[in-house]
Amino acid sequence: MRPDARNSAPASATPPPSPPPQPQRPEGEDWTIGRLLSWTGDYLKRRGAESPRLDAEVMLAHVLDYERVQLYTHYEEPVGESARGRYRDLIRRRAEGAPVAYLVGRKEFYSLRFEVTPAVLIPRPETEYLVLGFLEAVKEVASPVAIDVGTGSGCVAVACAKQREEARFTAIDVSAEALAVARRNAERHGLTDRIEFVQGDLLAPAAGRPAVDVIVSNPPYIPSDVVDALDPGVRDHEPRLALDGGPDGLNLVRRLIEQAIPILKPGGRLMLEIGAGQDEAVTAIVAEHPALAPLPTVRDLQGHPRVIHALKRD
């Protein structure tokens, strides 16, 4: 999911940044993993973090090169001054609004670990509905061929290809920096032989190629004026190119729907993640094209419309 009107907050909701205070060690006691987590969780909670304990755990596990679960099997282990120094730097940057995923350079998506940098949007759990939709759509398709438009970190293409061994993807992004991240993620998961990475604007690189079974996309869909009102952690750190969808948020969505028609096979599926309040508008855009048949919109666990599905008519 991209942050939109459902979870945006005015910049004034975040306290002004300040360096974290130096934690004071109880007399005669070491700074153990458990004690550091408790102090950091309390500090980040006071700073307004939505998930202070989780943030503290992810950052400390990163510094110590542990999995998160190992923090609890080493709860009484002392943490040396060098590691504490690196940890304090991460705490400071987190308190200033930097997303944890960028601080540690990774994020989990569909139970897979992905590298993330400020060149790509941080994967959100709601975007997993694109993966679920793809897997459902190709259940009866032998060796499905698909396109992921605006691939970013590559999380959707990689997760889909990982779950469906015969699938082949073309992953497109206008950003060369994003494609470099996506390629590394495909390499991490052993999928470079089944995912092709192409730089270009929307579906332009696919023009003239053989038709495909599925097109998936998590395009920029936030209205420009809403982007400016997002939580500073998003607005000031994530790439605006991956967020801003123009005045009504649907500039790229309109183009993508039109471009998808000649590229989809008859019976092929188009899947687009959408933002709050965009269900009716995007469904209406789909309905403007006789070659496409709107399908029921997928809703997330909160009941919000999340992914538009459309079928290419025979």
Q: What is the pLDDT of residues 280-301, one digit of tens each?
A: 999 999 999 999 999 999 999 8
Least confident among 104-113, 118-127, 227-236: 227-236
Structure tokens at 293: 């048949």
Containing 39, the helix (H) or strand (E) segment is: helix 33-46
What string of DSSP letters covers 69-105? HHHHHTTT-B--HHHHHHHHHHHHHHHTT--HHHHHT
Asked if pLDDT for residue 207 goes beyond 60, the answer is: yes
What string of DSSP letters covers 241-280? GGTB--TTS-HHHHHHHHHHGGGEEEEEEEEEE--TT-HH
Tell whether the torsion through CA atoms of 92, 10, 178 and 271 is positive or negative.
positive
Interatomic CA distance for residues 50 and 228, integer angstroms: 20
Q: What is the pTM assigned to this prediction?
A: 0.88
Q: Provide the pLDDT for residue 6.
A: 43
Domains of the chain with bracketed CATH = 18-96 (1.10.8), 107-312 (3.40.50.150)
Q: What is the pLDDT of residues 37-79, one digit of tens each?
A: 999 999 999 988 889 999 999 999 999 999 999 999 999 999 9
Helical pair 155-163 and 128-137, crossing angle rounded to 10 deg: 40
Q: Provide the pLDDT for residue 314.
A: 87
Nearest C-alpha neighbor of 164 from the set 151, 185, 145: 145
Residue 129 φ/ψ, nearest 5 degrees: -65, -25
Q: What is the pLDDT of residues 145-154, one digit of tens each?
A: 999 999 999 9
Interatomic CA distance for residues 9 and 275, integer angstroms: 16
Interatomic CA distance for residues 36 and 195, integer angstroms: 42
Q: What is the pLDDT of residues 122-166, one digit of tens each?
A: 999 999 999 999 999 999 999 999 999 999 999 999 999 999 999
Q: Provide the pLDDT for residue 4.
A: 52
Q: Are 298 and 134 in contact (CB under 8 A)?
A: no
